A and B are shown apart, each in its own frame.
Chain A
Amino acid sequence: MINNSVRFDIILKMEEFTFLDDIATADVAIESRGDTLEELFSASARATFDVMVNAGDVQPEVKKTLRLENSEIDGLLFDWLAEIIYLKDSEAMVFCKFDIKIKKDVNYHLDAEIFGEEIDQSRHELRCDVKAITFHLFEVYEKDGKWISRFILDI
């Protein structure tokens, strides 16, 4: 139990994202970082939902599983963000917790369990809806042992 909470703290500390004010006017630009690809993908997903809802209000009540495959790591991140944006509308859900595993053989493979709950306008502090992930200025790279991505969400 103690071990689990310690690990949770570490994950929170390492997963980071910032909003980039100077490269988008109508849309939202984000830089996300992680020590591993899993952390990068989790931080990117958290950032995406942070645009739409106060994640502190969202309970991890319902689990959805996702499996994605792509030959390129940037393609996989694009697919991942496109998929969670799709689920937001098709399931009318917001998500707050992302358990991700990424493996590489010839292609990159992502297996994820994501947790959240159905959107309740009376209880959730909702913000601005995200329409899509764009390819504009989209990049994923590794620098000094960190995985970094930059992406722009259409609002």
Chain B
Amino acid sequence: MNSDMKINKISDWVWEIPKTEKEGMLVPARIFASDTLLESMDKGVFEQITNVACLPGIQKYALCMPDGHWGYGFPIGGVAAFDTEEGIISPGGIGFDINCGMRLITTNLKVDEVRPLLQSLINELYRAVPAGVGAKGDIKVSVSQLKDIMKRGAEWCIENGYGWPQDQQRIEENGHIPGADPSKVSEKAISRGINQLGTLGSGNHYLEIQLVTIENIFDEKIAKVMGIREKDQIVIMVHCGSRGFGHQIATDYLRVFDKAMKKYGMTVRDRELACAPFKSPEGSDYYKAMLCAANSAFANRQIITHRIRESFSKVFDADARKLGIEIVYDVAHNIARVERYKIDGREKEVLVHRKGSTRSFGPGSRELPEIYRDVGQPVIVGGSMQTGSYLLVGTQKAMEETFGSTMHGAGRTMSRSAAKKKVRGDQLIRTMAKDGILVKAASLSGLAEEAGIAYKDISEVVETMDVLGISKKVVQLKPIGNIKG
């Protein structure tokens, strides 16, 4: 472990940095990790999570999920809940890619039907879903339509032919969070994002064709509720966010908050944690603009889903409905939301920041659609393109211990340049092909940065939260085809 800080073991999978460890900490920091995962966490994680513990209005603990790694402001995998009356909001606790998230989509195709057409399918998807630096979407919207998308997210898409009515309930918050106000969004954000609807982005964003194997179904009953019915079933996973639109909103407000800190007499240990009281004009404006980006990200993943349906339909010469291309769920993992939790014996309204963390609401939560209310919320955790991903389900324990939050991915363990020194993009394509995974990427060097060796062992990350009962494993998914920006 790369830290001089005192880290107390609370139980086999829970660690705590006491608030005496750094001046200004208002609450302890809690880290969820196995011994091995804790050992491999970089120094930045401990510095950053204890910086978060110093922010005004923080409740109970600053939390770090088992995929935690060094980010900017919050660590990636950081979760913190702030009193909505006395607490803050910080763009550095959400990230520039507002509502970066995951969507899982089923098919009723079996692997034997897909393998012979996999290359055509990958080529078609790569054409239909633009990826990489400078990629433009082929949907042209006016500024007033974009403003409508900011407020209505996936609902706008479905109404305009990019989706089916049943899609909406299978998206967190029905694909549009109330409270978004386009008047709080700059013209720059609009001009930056208006041509990018339906694009994947770059870095760790991907569109993946995945396979369910029988040995990887952990809970058959819940898997069935979520549309995973049999072995060899093919599913599709999408990882992307709000694109340049969200990046610009975060940049704009980071500058606003950097200046507002003086006005409110606030200081932070990392300038990237620039923040303002949630109920201040600056805090309120950012929240309303941030929700515009969150809704546009739901729309982005919805348009991509539409392109996926079109592509499958074309390659398999069948209607997408007949192919059973239905959304399992769509989750945000870079966001702040007003939620209610029991704290010190009474229910309290808090602003939960999740930066690289997935909501993990348990059975009975009124926020869940009826189809999932009995079992809990589907939690989609994306792994590296070589190792696979997981579908899990949220629990009541998450509501009690982690403000309804869990991990979001495997978590990087190696820097991008270190990965590129170890792996070459063209070699990686060949290695993955030998392992039965076809990959098409806009950038070979970008591909090398995302090699499996750059990530933690996703099974150990997922196991941590499964053993703790924060989110329970339902299915593990193996990649067979991948598109990257």
Cα A118 to Cα B414 in complex, Å, equals 32
Selected contact of A92 from candidates B195, B413, B442, B485, CB within 8 Å: B195
Candidates A28, A52, A79, A133; contact of B416 at CB < 8 Å = A28
Assess the A86–B134 pair: CB atoms within 8 A.
no
Q: Are B70 and A53 interface neighbours, CB within 8 A? A: no
Nearest neighbor of A26 in chain B, beta-carbon distance: B412
Give which listed residue, A27, A78, A129, A154, contacts B485 with CB less than 8 A.
Answer: A129
Complex contacts, A14 vs chain B, CB 8 Å: none
Give the Cβ gap from A150 to chain B, nearest Cβ, in Å: 12
Q: Is the CB of A126 within 8 A of B132?
A: yes
Contacts of B414 in A (CB 8 A): 25
Among A53, A129, A133, A136, the one with the most B-chain Cβ atoms within 10 Å of its Cβ is A129
A86→B412 contact, CB < 8 A? no
In chain B, positions 110-139 with a C-beta closer than 8 Å to chain A are 132-136
Task: Answer yes or no: A155 CB below 8 A from chain B CBs.
Answer: yes
Which of A26, A88, A90 is the most central at the interface, judged by chain B CB atoms within 10 Å of its CB? A26
Contacts of A152 in B (CB 8 A): 72
Which residues of B sit under 8 angstroms from A127, Cβ to Cβ? 133, 443, 445-446
Q: Is the CB of A129 within 8 A of B192?
A: no
Q: Which residue of A lies closest to B132 (CB)?
A: A126
The CA-CA distance from A111 to B358 in the complex, in Å, is 43
State the CA gap A126–B418 with chains docked (Å). 19
Q: Would you call A25 and B413 a contact (CB within 8 A)?
A: yes
Judge if A99 is at the interface, Cβ distance under 8 Å: no
How many chain A residues sit at the interface, stated as a range, is 35 or more
Decide: A27 and B134 in contact? CB cutoff 8 A: no
* B8 interfacial by beta-carbon distance below 8 Å: no
Task: Tell whether A128 is near chain B: CB-to-CB under 8 Å.
Answer: yes
- 1/0 contact string of B431-442 vs chain A (CB within 8 Å): 000000000001
Contact B254 A135, beta carbon cutoff 8 Å: yes
In this complex, the member of A53, A118, A128 whose beta carbon has the largest number of chain B beta carbons within 10 angstroms is: A128
Contact call B71/A89, Cβ cutoff below 8 A: no
Pair B443/A126 contact, Cβ less than 8 Å: yes
* Of A79, A131, A137, the contact of B247 (CB 8 Å cutoff): A131
A100 within 8 A of B: no
Contact residues of A between 129 and 154, Cβ < 8 Å to B: 129, 131-138, 152, 154
Query: Of B42, B247, B417, which contacts A19 at CB under 8 A?
Result: B417
Contact B417 A21 (CB under 8 A): yes
CA distance A52 to B442 in the complex (A): 12
A82's closest neighbor in chain B, by CB? B251
Residues of B close to A126: CB separation below 8 A: 132-134, 442-443, 446
Interface segment out of the listed B269-277, B296-304, B311-319: B269-277
Q: Are A27 and B135 in contact (CB under 8 A)?
A: no
Nearest chain A CB to B71's CB is how many angstroms away? 6
Counting CB contacts under 8 A, is B449 at the interface?
Answer: yes
Whole-angstrom CA separation of A28 from B449 in the bound complex: 11
Q: Are A53 and B133 in touch, CB under 8 angstroms?
A: yes
| In the complex, B415 has a CB within 8 A of chain A | yes
| Structural contact, A128 and B443, CB atoms closer than 8 A | yes
Interface locus among B177-185, B196-204, B368-376:
B196-204
What string of 1s and 0s marks CB contacts (under 8 Å) between A74-90 and chain B?
Answer: 00001100100110111
B73: A residues at CB distance < 8 A = 134, 136
A112 at interface by CB-CB < 8 Å: no
Contact B417 A26, beta carbon cutoff 8 Å? no
Contact A135 B274 (CB under 8 A): yes
CB pair B248–A121 under 8 Å, yes or no, is no
A119–B132 CA distance with the chains assembled, in angstroms:
10
Also in contact, A154 and B96, with CB within 8 A (given A90-B192, A127-B445): yes
Contact with A along B255-274 (1 / 0, CB 8 A): 10010000000000011101
Question: Given that A25-B412, A128-B416, A128-B449 are contacting pairs, would A90 and B188 also be in contact in the complex, using a CB cutoff of 8 Å?
Answer: yes
A37 proximal to B (CB < 8 A):
no
Q: Judge whether B442 and A89 touch: CB under 8 Å.
A: no
Q: How far is the CB of A57 from chain B (nearest CB, A)?
A: 12
Residue of B nearest to A78 (CB): B255
* CB-CB under 8 A for A25 and B271, given A94-B134, A131-B96: no
Contacts of B250 in A (CB 8 A): 132
Let me know if A24 and B96 touch, CB within 8 A.
Answer: no
Interface centre among A86, A92, A93 (most CB of B within 10 A): A86
With both beta carbons as reference points, the residue of chain B lying nearest to A51 in the complex is identified as B416
> Are the CB atoms of B442 and A132 closer together than 8 Å?
no
Alpha-carbon gap, A128 to B42, bound state (A): 23
Report whether B70 and A24 are in contact in the complex, using a CB–CB cutoff of 8 Å.
yes
The residue on B at minimum CB distance from A118 is B134
Assess the B192–A86 pair: CB atoms within 8 A.
Answer: yes
Ranked 6 nearest A-B pairs via Cβ: A119-B134, A136-B72, A129-B202, A89-B244, A135-B271, A136-B272
18 extra interface residue pairs, beta carbon distance < 8 Å, beyond A88-B134, A136-B92: A21-B418, A23-B44, A24-B44, A24-B415, A26-B76, A82-B255, A89-B134, A89-B196, A89-B243, A90-B192, A94-B134, A131-B203, A132-B247, A133-B251, A134-B272, A135-B72, A135-B92, A136-B270
Q: Chain A interface (Cβ within 8 Å of chain B)?
A: 19, 21-28, 52-53, 78-79, 82, 85-86, 88-90, 92-94, 118-119, 121, 125-129, 131-138, 152, 154-155
Q: What are 15 residue pairs bridging A and B, where the CB atoms are less than 8 Å apart in the complex?
A: A24-B415, A28-B417, A86-B192, A86-B244, A89-B243, A121-B133, A126-B132, A128-B445, A128-B446, A128-B449, A131-B247, A133-B251, A135-B72, A136-B71, A136-B92
